[in-house]
Amino acid sequence: MSYTLEPIGVVHSCFSEKFAIPRQPQLAPAATGILELFPPYNQPEALVGLEHVSHLWLLFVFHAADSGPKHLRVRPPRLGGNQRIGVFASRATHRPNPLGQSVVKLEGIVDGKLLLSGIDLLDGTPVLDIKPYVPYADALPEARNDLAPAPPAPILVEWSALALTQADEHGERLCTDLRGLIEQCLAQDPKPAYQQPEPSREYGGRFWDLNVRWHYPAADCIRVIDIQQVNLPD
């Protein structure tokens, strides 16, 4: 038995590469994007009623996940990257089918496009379906997950004077809270949990059309060093 699924739209995201994307939605409220719907789903008739909804479930494809062999056990970054658990106990991208789901905040609708925040989606992510978030059914106070009982504790994010100036200038150019976006994402400590970085080692990530560089002056602290605009492929 097989099924053919066609995307109903694509996400234009602030994340132009996978590294430093929050591991769960809503951990970075300043992470924004636009869901461009394809015809005929960009017509007003398909969107009637969304004005009464604050959050949405997006069902999407992990389009940039490695297409290697399927595994029954995976190593989630949350557990340090060394402990293996069953694939169905994890939200890892390496799955029997490359499908994901995220709850995002709906900020508005403009010309058949959905304005979103709190996203954890790579730029170009194909979306298969949209469903409204229903608080009384979707928020279960008795639910538990002993592998991930609470959000990871954020680490301190510091800035060089140069990086602060660059963040404010590029944030104004992009009309976005760039400083908030970078701080919220880096506070999740994007490096693999098993790494013990040397202060001299630099890391980098892409946000919008920017290359952001940082290092770890201490194990529990990130310092943003520099932000440079780059030319992204079309």
Please list the rounded mean pLDDT of every run of 10 residues in the chain (234 residues).
92 94 92 97 95 97 78 75 82 85 97 96 97 95 88 92 96 96 94 83 95 94 96 65
CATH number at residue 93: 2.40.30.70
Q: Which residue has the tokens 């002056």?
A: 217
pTM value? 0.90
Q: Do 15 and 103 fall into the same domain?
A: yes
Q: How many helices (H) does the chain have, and how many strands (E)? A: 4, 12
CA atoms in the 13 A half-sphere facing the CB of 152: 21
Residue 76 lies in a domain: yes
Task: Let me know whether 25 and 118 are in one domain.
Answer: yes
177 plus 132 within the same structural domain: no
Q: Do residues 24 and 114 both lie within one domain? A: yes
Instruction: Give yes or no: residues 85 and 162 share one domain.
Output: no
Same domain, 49 and 127: yes
Q: Single out the residue of 170, 183, 172 nearest to residue 224, CA to CA.
A: 183
Q: How many domains does the chain have?
A: 2
107 and 39 within one domain:
yes
For residue 43, the enclosing domain spans: 9-138
- At residue 119, the pLDDT reads 97
Residue 56 falls inside a structural domain:
yes
Regarding whether 64 and 37 lie in a shared domain, the answer is: yes
Residues 92, 99: contact at Cβ < 8 Å? no
113 with 168, same domain?
Answer: no
pLDDT value, residue 207: 96
Domain final position from 138, 170, 203? 138
15 & 123 share domain: yes
Residue 145 domain flag: no
3-class SS of residue 55: strand
Domain annotation covers residue 151: no
The reply to whether 37 and 89 lie within a common domain is yes
pLDDT at 67: 66
